[in-house]
Chain A
Amino acid sequence: MVAFLIKRLLATIPTILLVTIAVFLILRLTPGGPAVAMLGDQASPEAVAALNQKLGLDKPLYIQYLRWLGNALHGDLGRSAFGNQPVTELIVQRIVPTLELSILALIVSLLIGISAGVIAAVKRNTAVDAVASILAILGVSTPSFWLAILLVLIFSLKLTWLPALGYVSPFSNLATNLKDMLLPSLTLGVILAAVITRFTRASMLDSLYQDYVRTARSKGLEERTVILRHALGNAMIPIVTVVGLELGGLLSGAVIIETIFSLPGNGQLLVTSIFNRDFPVVQGLVVVIAIVFILVNVAVDVVYALIDPRIRLG
């Protein structure tokens, strides 16, 4: 198991290096260079030169990259062009809301997606199946920001059950925090649940007609045990893969949801930094998000190997 994990982690190193190069080069595509973008077109050449020097942008590209990479390996992602705060510190300060939103949304999506998918497959070709399938199609095509606005309209403005925006840290008041997080995580979770429903249904349909399910039934096991333990247990393998892929949607969705609900997380930090043209923050944040995405997919591979004994570790 450990050997498998180490092998998978080592395999990510070239990808992570390419990711850092890609982000580095993309942000240097800026017309006129990052310094001009940050200071505006009217900036004097002296001011541009001074900022270039401050950010090390006057050096050749490969030196800039190697210097940035060397610092990044020591946890130093540079400093914000505004306020001079270290990028790593900014990211760490805002990690809790993002982590919370992602975990809660994932839980919501798994609860809704797996239950709806299992029910749709078990009640195949009935009205229940049709409703679940239609809802799944609706979910895939609904913009998260629109759903967020609709939920705010219904639950915050009309019914006044939940707050429309605001955030209290879970460490200061957990109850208020969960109330604040309910609408954001529901919005994101429902959208992700759509894809999970479709894959769970397909995977369950495949599993329900396998020999082991027939054997389990013929042994006289309860239908509930047959479905949940034997059919769903085996159907989980493709579902885990899809959850891994959906994490990209989770991280992308977090950017929009945090912006709408004013959650002080990294998604909101990314959007604000893009507007402020704070390139060191954008660069650091995008690299961190991509690395998290890569590492979570390694974790998904490990879970995949753990739940499917047919996959050889090593």
Chain B
Amino acid sequence: MLRSAPQAYWRWVLGRIWRVRLAPFSLIIVLIAIFMAIFAGVIAPDSPTHAELGDVLLSPSLHHPMGTDDLGRDVLSRIIYGTRASLSAGIVATGIGLTIGATLGLLSGFFLGPVDTILMRVMDALLAFPGLILALAITAALGPSLINAMIAIGVVSVPRFARLVRGQVLTLNDADYVVSARSIGARNMRILFRHIGPNMLTPIIIQVSLSVAFAILTEASLSFLGLGVQPPTPSWGFMLNQGRDYISQAPWLAIFPGVTIFLVVMAFNLLGDAVRDALDPRLRL
């Protein structure tokens, strides 16, 4: 009976999210993006790097539904393969931010005192940078590449998760069930992972979804500036940068990657909003 309680809770959560306006739409887009990233090799009609100099800047047609670029490469195939860079940036960067941020937030909120003061000062300093500027500084040091962009965006996300988790720990630390657990002699680790941890999942899930959207957008921005994914590996941001040069002759080069970034980022943003609306109506905007 006890074991099935979390499952029932998650079923209830999913049911509520599904009923939020636009949530099914965003969930479908996210699933399509994941499918495209995993099965790019199967569903892409062409190789993303195969240049066909006789097919340069072809407008959309049945053979090339999104046209071809300045080297005659199929834009649709490049967008499908580009999902890999964008989604992996979103997931890895958020993973870095969540793992480091949540650990620091837990330590800070639970132990308080000097640990809290020092950690939160450092987090404040990192929050004092506009997100993209900090990511640019880190990329400047590490050099342009997808991995370095992921690290940079991950570091930018750390203070947001740390602040969130710390706030949750501070609130939950005084909850009746935590006070009760402590009074019957439960150890710190048990209180943290058995009682406090599971109860702050909702705000963390919301932040994860918004953070993936931020990471995908920032990776696209870095790649657009030439500081993320390096050619010939396809990435949506860099494709847009190339498309800019041919905007009057071949507008599809900029339009399709832009629509793709927009749809995926919007889907993750909406999903974050949907989780919040479903689980915490007080925060609804």
Contact = CB atoms under 8 A, between A and B. Distances in A.
Interface stretch (A15-23, A49-57, A89-97, A225-233): A15-23
Contact of A149 (B134, B226, B244): B244
B124 A15 contact: yes
Interface residues of A, number: 57
B129 A145 contact: no
B285 A29 contact: no
Given A29-B142, A251-B133, A282-B140, A143 B265 contact: yes
A192 interface: no
B143 interface: yes
A137 B266 contact: yes
A198 B277 CA distance: 14
Sorting the interface of chain B by its residue count into under 10, 10 to 19, 20 to 34 or 35 or more gives 35 or more
B208 to A, nearest CB: 17
B225 A259 contact: yes
A28 B121 CA distance: 21
B69 to A, nearest CB: 15
A18 B122 contact: yes
Most chain A CB neighbours (cut-off 10 Å) among B139, B221, B248, B285? B285
B269 A141 contact: yes
A141 B218 CA distance: 11
A153 interface: yes
A289 B130 contact: yes
Interface of A is mostly: helix
A80 to B, nearest CB: 14
B153 interface: no
Nearest to B284: A202
Given A26-B138, A31-B142, A256-B224, A293 B130 contact: yes
Contacts of B197: none
Contacts, number: 148
Interface in A114-159: 137-138, 140-146, 149-150, 152-153, 157
B114 to A, nearest CB: 14
A178 B247 CA distance: 24
A168 interface: no
A251 B132 CA distance: 9
A286 interface: yes
Contact of B133 (A260, A279, A290): A290
A198 B285 contact: yes
A107 interface: no
A150 B251 CA distance: 9
B125 A18 contact: yes
A252 B136 CA distance: 10
A224 to B, nearest CB: 25
Contacts of B132: 252-253, 255-256
Top 7 nearest A-B pairs by Cβ distance? A18-B125, A252-B132, A146-B258, A141-B266, A248-B130, A141-B265, A274-B140
Interface of B: 22, 121-122, 124-126, 128-134, 136-143, 213, 217, 220-221, 224-227, 237, 240-241, 243-244, 247-248, 251, 254-255, 257-258, 261-262, 265-266, 269-270, 273, 284-285
Interface of A: 14-16, 18-19, 21-23, 26-31, 37, 137-138, 140-146, 149-150, 152-153, 157, 198-199, 201-202, 247-253, 255-256, 259-260, 270-271, 273-275, 277, 279, 282, 286, 289-290, 293-294
23 contacts: A15-B125, A19-B125, A31-B143, A137-B266, A141-B262, A143-B261, A146-B240, A146-B254, A146-B257, A150-B258, A152-B247, A153-B254, A252-B132, A253-B132, A255-B133, A274-B139, A274-B227, A286-B136, A289-B130, A289-B133, A290-B128, A290-B129, A293-B129
